Chain A
Amino acid sequence: MFVEAGHYALTLALGLSLVQFLMPLWAATVRDEALAAIAVPAALGAFACVTLAFAALTHAYATSDFSLVNVVENSHSLKPFIYKLTGVWGNHEGSMLLWVLILTLFGAMVALSRRAVPSRLRHLTLAVQGAVAFAFLAFVEFTSNPFLRLNPAPFEGQDLNPILQDLGLAIHPPLLYIGYVGFSISFAFALAALIEGRIDAVWARAVRPWTLTAWVFLTLGIAMGSYWAYYELGWGGWWFWDPVENASLMPWLAGTALLHSTIVMEKRDALKVWTILLAILTFSLSLLGTFLVRSGVLTSVHSFATDPTRGAFILAILVVFIGGGFALFAWRAPLLRQGGLFAPISREGALVANNLLLVTACATVFIGTLYPLALEALTGAKISVGEPFFNATFLPIAMPLLALIPIGQTIAWKRGDLLGTVQRLWAAYAAGLAGALIVFALVRGGPVLALLGIGLGVYLLAGSAVDIFHRAGGGRVAPGVMLRRAAGLPRSAWGTAIAHAGVGITVLGIAAQAWSTETLAVVNRGDLVNAGAYTLRLDAIFPRTAHNYREDVARFTVLRDGRIIGTLEGSKRIYVTRGMPTTEAGIMTLGPSQLYVSLGEPQPSGGMGVRIYWKPYVIFVWLGSVIMALGGLLSLTDRRLRVAAPVAARGRLVPAE
């Protein structure tokens, strides 16, 4: 009964979101606020209904109710309980329900944010949000319904795949979805502004927390996915420029640009049209990402045909919202009042450059991801666009972008003094140069690009420190006063500095991979293999049995300068009753660096094929991303986001000199 009530709630949500979509639009044409206010309870009701539906599905998974097709296909009564629950969104239907749940949750939050968003804007935003929710609810109901029943019900489910029972895999999709869906709110705000024909700093204030939330979660989601691929796939890589990864990177790049252009709008009332365009673009790329991952286009253009209704439905959603969004933009954007002017050399100018570079970077990823698909669809030729392409196109755009970060952080609004800014940053340049030289001296050479990366990373870290130092009046006031001032700086200033420092740490981690080593060897007992400063000695290859699998384990002793510092085990596992083999990489974390062992095949000669990687500072890659997200979260807690204060903001940013 709970299951059917959940299903019915889903159809009710469909009706509620239709009302949420239509009423405010009608109300806007006749200027009737009471009519528009219907959107608020409709959004709350839709959220309550979808929550009920999701709870019903979760309950069915928890109790192994095999009268649901979805549960039969994706669960099994012997799964550990926690994986029964995560299995709810571990499949297409359930994950789309989760998507809709997050969508309506955000809608409900907008409905309740009475103190942050003026009512007319809020109601129109809810209308657009209602349209998106309606489309996706219909998608779930008609093409991906998790509530379809089986009668008679089988006694057992079909999925007990041990590889998919992984916590990283369970957390990754919700993070990513919160990111994707969060951008739908920015999109809804943008369209609402276009419909209303008015956009100002209040709009930017209202939309910024949503963009920031989405960005934080997308950052975490991408980092999580990257780490999962690193430890689970056993290839030793952390980013593969795989289309699935690119599908999440594109909205991230556009979203980062949106985040920064919103700041310009909020502080200076400028870049309005551009910000609106970016908001539409970011959500379009989120939708595109969903389409690529969910329709099966990625595995092959031809597998798209195996489930045509699903793919065609998402494609229709894509066309309506992207096409509709841009059409509305073309029609209404010229009506928007243009905002403040600024000199090219100013923080606004730096942020415009940041936006252009980010959007260009996004375009290269877009081309690298979609061109092979288009080519295959048109000519049937399969080409692979991988790392060389992205290294040649993405890096030359990313590098100046990174170099620009500390300058944009330090330069004044409206009319900046480039020379002064550069002078203020001398310490950061010096630190970057010193960093690159020290590394050069220590490792005796290395690729130019990697040294450049090290320099950039250190420069970014130092730039963030210099920024905080100057804002706190460093050099002009006593150190004690400076510390007090630094502590009193707004959280958004600290958030900016921390997030940019996070970028620096990630850049350092990436650059350091130039010095990683990969050794392929066939080893016998007692053999020694070198990896970085460490030596691995194969002690034993032995079989071991655990609860439901057997594995062949290769145990290495790790030595440094002849001193034993630990043991490291890699294994090849076989889940006996299913006859399914997996490879478990052995990872030893040594400070920020890692030793990584992946077993190959046993050789006829008696040895064991192994791959041994030394990954210096590899943790920095993900640590930096987490720090970026933390910076975003800190900025989110800044209470000033809720009050419009452009005048005060300017006064605060130019230090009293």
Chain B
Amino acid sequence: MLIWLIFALMTGAAVLAVLWPLSRAETAVAAETGDAAFFRQQMADLERDREAGLVSEREAEALRAEIGRRLLRAARGEGRRGPEGEPALRRRRAASAIALSTIPLLALAIYGAMGSPHLPQAPRAARMDGGQLDVGAAVAKIEAHLAQNPGDGRGWEVLAPVYLRAGRFGDAARAYQSALDILGETPARLTDLGEAVTAEAGGIVDARARAAFERALALDPANAKARYYLAVATGQDGDNAKAMDMLQKLLADAPADASWRGAVEQRLAALSMSEGASAITSLPQGEQALAIRGMVEGLAARLDADGSDAAGWARLVRSYVVLGEEEKAREALAKARSQLAADPASLDMLAALARQLSLETDATGAPQ
């Protein structure tokens, strides 16, 4: 609210400043700003300079004549000035109205389209609590230390995850690689490196990352992270069925309380989505379909707990349709609508989805 008050004050100041000359009588303005006044001023300056000895008497004489000539010409010009009175008054009112409307309207229209008045400032220092505030300094210290002792593998290993969290993926990959080179290969170091390389490539598991994951898997065939990323790589190569197969096996091997289960399920859901119905029908019946069902159930449970995720709802509705459970799809759609009632954009999206999946052909399908 305060921000709008500030905007209002700024606008007011701008408009008032512009209107100020109009509020004054024309004669007053002309006396101050007319060309004749300018040359009279020059004449006065000249006299002052002459008295101060800055201009010689002979020069001053010539100057006086020159300025006098211009003064005469300017005075003649001012005789032709527009008439004072009714038309000028009306003109000035029009100008005031234009200034009064143009400046705020232009500013508000453009700012309204481009600005983000609701977003608070986020200076870095204010966002860091005491502990995190020192991260920058600590990083600088470790960097300086490593510049002196580049052979300190532990240092690289400490630095790398900090880089990763800071979004400096390339730097993180380089740090992991250094740690790997100095301290030797372990599955954890290899998968960390692969993860950083993948992050740097914007989520694409490229050849370098893949080699790291494969090497990790050779050292530790059960390594979940390596298996996960290799599955992602397979999916990226276009073999969705195999990727889903790999992920499901991973899920089957996973301990029930593994923290990364959610990530695998999400990836699985994304894969099944991109494959669409054809992928599902091409799957053999049995445990895999069951696994998908379990995944959908998980999504439904999550959305029941927190229903603000519009994309999640859409995915759930779509999944039910794919599984052939139209009744449940309708139910989910209704729930989503009630949860997202405050968000018109999401409601539009849901309506479009319903049309697309032909969920609203019955009596309740009146246009919203």
Contacts and interface: CB of A to CB of B under 8 A. Distances in A.
Interface stretch (A344-352, A572-580, A601-609, A610-618): A572-580
Interface residues of B, number: 87
B18 A45 contact: yes
Interface string A151-175: 1011110100000000000000000
B36 to A, nearest CB: 9
B14 A35 contact: no
A12 B103 contact: yes
Interface stretch (B108-116, B199-207, B305-313): B108-116
Given A576-B143, A643-B46, A41 B20 contact: yes
A81 interface: no
Contacts of B49: 639, 643
A223 to B, nearest CB: 34
Interface string A1-26: 11111011101101110110011001
Contacts of B167: 154-156, 158
Contact of A145 (B21, B114, B144, B174): B114
A119 B127 contact: no
A63 B147 contact: no
B136 A37 contact: no
A141 B114 contact: yes
Interface stretch (A181-189, A275-283, A526-534, A543-551): A543-551
B97 to A, nearest CB: 12
B121 A41 contact: no
B114 A15 contact: no
A34 B26 contact: yes
Contacts of B122: 65-67, 153
Contacts of A11: 106-108, 110-111, 114-115
Contacts of A200: 70
Interface string B95-134: 1001100111111101100111101111111110000000
Contact of A8 (B10, B42, B62): B10
A382 interface: no
A114 B29 CA distance: 13
A648 B62 CA distance: 6
Interface string A587-629: 0000000000000000000000000000000000000000000
A489 to B, nearest CB: 13
B125 A63 contact: yes
A151 B115 contact: no
Interface stretch (B1-9, B186-194, B264-272, B358-366): B1-9
Contact of A151 (B34, B119, B125): B119
Given A35-B95, A67-B119, A545-B147, A9 B10 contact: yes
Given A37-B21, A67-B122, A12 B14 contact: yes
A154 B65 CA distance: 69
Interface residues of A, number: 80
Interface stretch (B80-88, B214-222, B234-242, B326-334): B80-88
A149 interface: yes
Interface string A359-376: 000000000000000000
B30 A646 contact: no
Given A32-B26, A577-B171, A37 B63 contact: no
Given A78-B136, A639-B54, A32 B125 contact: no
B166 A155 contact: yes
A19 B123 contact: no
Contacts of A26: 95
B127 A16 contact: no
B124 A77 contact: yes
B21 A644 contact: no
B115 A8 contact: yes
B70 A1 contact: no
A31 B81 contact: yes
B175 interface: yes
Given A115-B41, A643-B42, A644-B67, A37 B114 contact: no
A267 interface: no
Nearest to A49: B14
A24 to B, nearest CB: 11
Interface in B125-160: 125-127, 136, 139-140, 143-144, 146-148, 150, 159
A45 B17 contact: yes
Contact of B88 (A8, A32, A63): A32
Nearest to B54: A639
A578 B88 CA distance: 68
B42 A40 contact: no
A2 B119 CA distance: 11
A426 B363 CA distance: 107
Interface string A563-586: 000000000000011110000000
B182 to A, nearest CB: 13
B91 A35 contact: yes
A151 B159 CA distance: 27
Nearest to B7: A8
A303 B168 CA distance: 27
Contacts of A577: 143, 146-147, 159, 171, 174-175
Contact of B123 (A63, A119, A149): A63
Contacts of A42: 17-18
A3 B3 CA distance: 11
A230 B118 CA distance: 48
A255 to B, nearest CB: 27
Contacts, number: 236
A237 interface: no
A1 B21 contact: no
B45 A115 contact: yes
Contacts of B58: 648, 651
Contacts of B119: 4, 67, 149, 151
A449 interface: no
Contacts of B70: 200, 202, 644
A647 B10 contact: no
A478 B3 CA distance: 74
A147 B121 CA distance: 12
Contacts of A646: 66
B33 interface: yes
A39 B115 CA distance: 27
A49 B111 CA distance: 14
Contact of B121 (A3, A155, A645): A3
A118 B21 contact: no
A88 to B, nearest CB: 15
B33 A16 contact: no
B124 A8 contact: no
A115 B117 CA distance: 42
Interface in B48-97: 49, 54, 58-59, 62-63, 65-67, 70, 74, 80-82, 88, 91-92, 95
Contacts of A547: 144, 147
B18 A647 contact: no
Contacts of B7: 5, 8
Contacts of A537: none
B254 interface: no
Contacts of A15: 14, 102-107
B345 interface: no
B35 interface: yes
A5 B21 contact: no
B29 A37 contact: yes
B114 A548 contact: no
Interface in A440-482: none
The 5 closest A-B pairs by CB, nearest first: A63-B123, A15-B103, A647-B62, A64-B124, A648-B59
16 contacts: A8-B115, A12-B10, A12-B107, A18-B106, A19-B98, A33-B81, A35-B91, A38-B18, A38-B99, A41-B21, A42-B17, A60-B121, A78-B140, A155-B166, A158-B167, A644-B70
Interface of B: 2-3, 6-7, 10-11, 13-14, 17-18, 20-22, 24, 26, 29-30, 33-35, 37-39, 41-42, 45-46, 49, 54, 58-59, 62-63, 65-67, 70, 74, 80-82, 88, 91-92, 95, 98-99, 102-108, 110-111, 114-117, 119-127, 136, 139-140, 143-144, 146-148, 150, 159, 165-168, 170-171, 174-175
